[in-house]
Structure 1
Amino acid sequence: MRKIKITCDSTADISDGLLERYSIDTIPLYINKDGISLKDGVEIQPEDIYSYANETGKLPKTSAVPIVEYINLFGRYANSYEAVIHINLGQQFSSTYQNACIAAKEFHNVFVINSDNLSTGTGHIVIEAAKLAEQGLPAEEIVGKINEIIPKVEASFVIDTLDYLRMGGRCSALTAFSANLLNIKPNIEVIAGKMEVGKKYRGKIEKSIEKYVVDRLKDREDIVTDRIFITHSGCSEEVIENTKQLVQQYQNFDEIIITQASCTISCHCGPNTLGILFKRK
């Protein structure tokens, strides 16, 4: 019997190449548009959400993976692996964690982890679990080590417009209008499993991203430099390449991994959002 199977949901924003490299299986959340439920990244793409928002002035709704689909996912591997470890989007952001926990009760060897994060903040946790599984560690030990790593993941993003947060009910129309009027680009940080507003940049998104990267990386000695994700929601190649060069200038990471945000994440942050996500010592 094979050892440990690692699974996650689509909001981890892990590229197909990484999923294949570490033999990770993923399950999509849902985007509900005009009464139709569409699988994130399978039946709908972020560009479809942006087009819909531009045309209608409103956002589709996001929804969690149903319990029965988690049961199907876990059932696919529970009999052929010693254990299944599933890493979820943070429980403060969605009921996916709760649904996965309910489904896991149907099996004796399924472990569900709340990443307390989103996007490739969760992605870091997933990759760490996969690397530990490759080492042949038992499931209980992997879960313990992962829970120690979770608080050390530093996830943040710079958002180009607050319109999507406004349409999603996460900020007021006045706040969004004021931010857009003053050309403010807020840095959204994930702290203790919740999104908080950090430093606010002013000016074009390209310059705001440059300042943000310098603020996050310059002169820091508490960063684990094995891997950093540059995750974006449709930024230009020029912005992505410039971000990569800045990262290399201020920290010597072994891997710089560029991924694009899923529909669920993009639905809340909107286009031209970019974040750098890494771990602290």
Structure 2
Amino acid sequence: MIKISADSTCDLSPELVKALDITITPLGIVVGGENFHDGVDIFPSDIFRYVDKENKTCKTAAVNVYEYQQVFKRLSSQYEAVIHICISADFSSCFQNASVAAQDFDNVYVVDSRNLSTGSGHVVFDAALMAREGLAPEEIVRRLQALVPKVEASFVIDRLEYLHKGGRCSTVAKLGANLLQLKPCIEVINGKMTVGKKYRGRFDTCLEAYVKDRLCDRTDIDYSRLFITHPQCTPETVALVKRTVEQYAHFDEVYETNAGCTVSNHCGPFTLGILFKRK
């Protein structure tokens, strides 16, 4: 059997992780000098409390080489092969660290998803399905590398305070966006985060326009699966997005997942994206 493992940044739900038998390696979260592990002893609600109510700064920390070695040591002895999928190397040193750790094992393979959140989650999901089919590890890795550039990941952000506190948005840009009610679309392109279209108005109204822009009149979409991923949006907002998705596309599977601490720390509670694959 082949074991699939992934960084916690893949943002797959606990139910999917269990159903697909995926091992999750948590990234670190540092709060005021105290170290936590994403999804283990710290969760997005904690991040929002620290930032909004206690005015603390939270930082993400990559999984280090030793931590990966311990995971790979345990799994490689139990399985024919281990395939680990990382957050984009342009976002974190996780891929570099995992690659170094994998050098100690003949049956561990590391894949750079060139993405984050359920953008990586698509790669992890497909890897698990391939492992179930009994494909050879080298073939799975080859197919995953071909899949990576086909994943389309983007999010709309309601508030820029979190990007500002993380150094990814200037004070002037934040104030201008707030005054104009601008909601930027953050896209992952070639493994890097870029700012796409800026929507204007209420968050829910912007999300409707965003979903239309992403799905309407497309001929290159793979309709097998779509993730709706967010840290803490209301059920009403998520229901609106689901209805809007159904207006423009018919996916075989639509999964709602909650973004983990990494996305939450950089984007804040009211962020939502639809993530899917191209043909």
- TM-score (norm. length: structure 1): 0.98
- Aligned partner of residue 108 in structure 1, secondary structure: coil
* Residue type at the aligned position of 2:251: F
Q: Note the 1:10-89 alignment, pairs <5 A.
A: 10-89=8-87
Q: Note the 1:1-281 alignment, pairs <5 A.
A: 3-281=1-279
Q: Is the 8 A contact 2:31 2:56 kept in 1?
A: no
C-alpha displacement of 1:47: 1.2
* Residue type at the aligned position of 1:91: A
C-alpha displacement of 1:69: 1.1
- Which blocks of at least 5 consecutive residues in structure 1 are unaligned? none
Which range is displaced more, 186-195 or 171-180?
A: 171-180
Whole-angstrom distance in 1 between the partners of 2:89 and 2:258: 22
Q: Is the 8 A contact 2:32 2:56 kept in 1?
A: no
- Aligned partner of residue 147 in structure 1, secondary structure: helix
Q: Is the 8 A contact 1:58 1:167 kept in 2?
A: no
CA deviations on 1:49-100 (whole Å, 9 max, x unpaired) are 1111113445311101121111111111112211100000000000111111
* Residue type at the aligned position of 2:103: K
* Residue type at the aligned position of 1:222: D
* Residue type at the aligned position of 1:176: K
C-alpha displacement of 1:195: 0.6
Whole-angstrom distance in 1 between the partners of 2:259 and 2:137: 29
- TM-score (norm. length: structure 2): 0.98
After TM superposition, where is structure 1 displaced by more than 4 Å over at least 4 residues in a row? none
- Which blocks of at least 5 consecutive residues in structure 2 are unaligned? none
Whole-angstrom distance in 1 between the partners of 2:201 and 2:39: 32
Q: Is the 8 A contact 2:32 2:57 kept in 1?
A: no
Aligned length: 279
CA deviations on 1:152-206 (whole Å, 9 max, x unpaired) are 0000000001111110011111111111111100000000000111110001111
Q: Is the 8 A contact 1:158 1:274 kept in 2?
A: yes
Q: CA RMSD in A?
A: 0.9
* Residue type at the aligned position of 1:89: I
* Residue type at the aligned position of 2:132: E
C-alpha displacement of 1:144: 0.4
Percent sequence identity is: 53
Q: Is the 8 A contact 1:227 1:255 kept in 2?
A: yes
